[in-house]
Homo-oligomer: A and B are copies of this chain.
Amino acid sequence: MGQTRRRAARPPAEAAPFRQTYNPFPPMGVLSAEQLEQIEAASFHILEQTGIEFISREALQMFHDAGAEVDFEAQRVRLHRDLARKLIATAPAQFTMHARNPAHHTIMGGGYMIFSMVSGPGYAYDIKRGRRTGSFAEYLNYVKLAQSFNVIHNIGGFIVENQDTHEDVRHLQLYQAQHVYADKCTNPSARGFNHANDAVEIAALVFAEQGGREWMLSHPVTLSVVNSNSPLRFDTPMVEGLLTYARAGQCVIVTPFTLAGAMAPITLAGALAQQNAEALAGIALTQLARPGVPVVYGGFTSNVDMQSGAPAFGTPEGALAALAGGQFARRYGLPYRGSNVASSKTPDAQSAYESMMALWPVMLAHTNYVLHAAGWLDGGLSAGLEKVIIDVEMLQMLDTFTRGIAVDESTLALDAIAEVGPGGHFFGTPHTMERFRTEFYRPLISDWQNYDNWLDGGALTAADRAHTKAQEVIAAYEQPPLDPAIGEALQAYVDRRTAEILNTEQ
């Protein structure tokens, strides 16, 4: 590792040039103005009456000093609505995420969307080998896919966990790989001080020339998800992660884990009230740590399967919650985070319709950061090789959709229509010939052949074709250039910290 070649990475032939997806259409809401107020009032009631538990003496003290009602023994913060509103008011509505390759900078906010890889799975899945425990080798393949597709704007974090590495240093290995094998922004972990501080230190080495940690205070280069332990709790590792990143000027995505029927009320209105209370409390803490630090309002509310108690993803309830969450984020002038989720175990029709039940709302809600945009399977327990490709196809289609319809004299084509006239056809006309290569979206793996050709080709499913495509893209991957000095500095840091962490434990 650390070796780099000075060649520019080339995207697969079917991929569009790097361009951040921008949704020009007005956002969709599913709550009326009155419903939104009712749910917000309920969330304020929760913040003021029940309060939020922070298992962190430091966080409790910060809230206390800011004027909140804090019960140190019960570790409970009760936050008046006026104080909550005042604290979150310093958070910016829009900011730029800086990648080590400036061509991969992205805007967070407004109609802009950032698509990021799945994060969190302990397993890898493909249709040939089934499910198996995640490894570093698997992880690298996913990083290569993420770097190769231009519609993936952020590499993500623990795409699949490198379980073949010692648990306490896995994060070091992954952080290093993200910067060496890719040049897009990353989503390192907020699981405790070590995960967060190592991510910031490593980023500071990557951005040493720009000014390192000092420069990063006003230039976010990492973004990290901080989940509440719903209901109404932030645990110690998550608070440490939040404070470490916020104090380093890095972006925090506060995401309540409000699965209706389990960690939140079974009714969506109640789950959303709880989501909003938890989100506001976490966002307030980022601004106490560093006023003005970039923070994102996260929504992850879905429902559980009431038969098994397991989360269900890509559901109509999840779609409604995703759109309602966007309404709250806009209400507070904050960027919004959503997800592309599914329950299916394999990249079949279910995985696709569940993902589309998530992705359309994600787009319609003006979701700015889309975590798990590619590769999520089995409720997030598996990273799916073919699912990455299928998701990329869907993301590229939605990206094309957001480009809208060009209307001008040339596209209205009145001359061509008059020339062709009734009963003719447009195949060979100059108007068609000038545009036929580029006018329409060209699919990555969708099969548009006729039935007989499809049959002759082996009657392959989309999953079959995606498997082949994934192998091809990984084989064609080219490592983006990296200053050798940075590569060496990263290696030295990882070696030193690995030794420290493992020796400390002996």
Listed in ascending order, the chain A residues whose CB lies under 8 Å from chain B are: 25, 28-31, 35, 38-39, 42, 45-46, 49-53, 76, 130-131, 229, 231-233, 260-270, 272-274, 303, 305-310, 312, 315-317, 319-320, 324, 343-357, 360, 364, 378, 381-382, 390, 393-394, 397-398, 400-401, 404-408, 410-414, 416-418, 420-427, 431-432, 435-437, 439-441, 445-451, 454-455, 459, 461-463, 466
A310 and B448 form a contact (CB under 8 A): yes
A46 and B320 form a contact (CB under 8 A): no
Partner of A462, one of B231, B344, B404, B440: B344
Closest to A453 in B: B308
* Cα separation A435 to B355 with both chains bound (whole Å): 26
* Cα separation A274 to B356 with both chains bound (whole Å): 31
* Cα separation A324 to B406 with both chains bound (whole Å): 12
10 contacts between A and B (CB under 8 A): A31-B407, A50-B417, A263-B425, A266-B432, A272-B405, A324-B405, A349-B349, A349-B352, A353-B393, A382-B451
Chain B contacts for A382, CB-based, 8 A: 451
Chain B contacts for A269, CB-based, 8 A: 405-408, 411-413
Partner of A231, one of B29, B406, B424: B424
Chain B contacts for A449, CB-based, 8 A: 308, 310
Known: A265-B431, A268-B406, A310-B450. 18 other contacts (CB 8 A): A35-B405, A50-B422, A130-B455, A231-B420, A232-B422, A260-B439, A261-B427, A264-B426, A265-B417, A273-B413, A303-B440, A310-B449, A344-B447, A350-B447, A352-B352, A352-B353, A353-B390, A382-B451
Partner of A440, one of B317, B324, B356: B317
Chain B contacts for A436, CB-based, 8 A: 261, 266, 306
B414 and A273 form a contact (CB under 8 A): yes
* Cα separation A435 to B397 with both chains bound (whole Å): 38
B439 and A267 form a contact (CB under 8 A): yes
A320 and B401 form a contact (CB under 8 A): yes
Closest to A54 in B: B422
* Cα separation A360 to B361 with both chains bound (whole Å): 9
A459 and B346 form a contact (CB under 8 A): yes
B406 and A267 form a contact (CB under 8 A): yes
Closest to A278 in B: B422
Chain B contacts for A273, CB-based, 8 A: 412-414, 417
Partner of A315, one of B262, B345, B397: B397
Partner of A401, one of B319, B427, B450: B319
A364 to chain B, nearest CB (A): 8
Chain multiplicity (copies): 2
Chain B contacts for A404, CB-based, 8 A: 30, 320
Q: A38-B412, A229-B423, A353-B390 are in contact. Are A306 and B439 (CB under 8 A)?
A: yes
Chain B contacts for A397, CB-based, 8 A: 315-316, 353, 357
A231 and B421 form a contact (CB under 8 A): yes
A426 and B262 form a contact (CB under 8 A): yes
A432 and B53 form a contact (CB under 8 A): no
A411 and B270 form a contact (CB under 8 A): yes
* Cα separation A197 to B458 with both chains bound (whole Å): 45
Chain B contacts for A459, CB-based, 8 A: 130, 345-346
Chain B contacts for A233, CB-based, 8 A: 422-423
B320 and A131 form a contact (CB under 8 A): no
A268 and B411 form a contact (CB under 8 A): yes
A345 and B312 form a contact (CB under 8 A): no
Chain B contacts for A42, CB-based, 8 A: 412, 414
Counting chain B CB atoms within 10 Å of each CB, which of A270, A354, A407 scores highest?
A: A407
* Cα separation A348 to B386 with both chains bound (whole Å): 13
B35 and A262 form a contact (CB under 8 A): no
Q: A310-B448, A440-B303 are in contact. Are A426 and B261 (CB under 8 A)?
A: yes
* Cα separation A466 to B382 with both chains bound (whole Å): 24
* Cα separation A393 to B431 with both chains bound (whole Å): 41
Chain B contacts for A390, CB-based, 8 A: 349, 353
Q: A25-B30, A423-B231 are in contact. Are A267 and B350 (CB under 8 A)?
A: no
A118 to chain B, nearest CB (A): 16
A321 to chain B, nearest CB (A): 8
Q: A35-B405, A353-B355, A401-B319 are in contact. Are A411 and B462 (CB under 8 A)?
A: no
* Cα separation A381 to B451 with both chains bound (whole Å): 9
Chain B contacts for A315, CB-based, 8 A: 397, 440-441
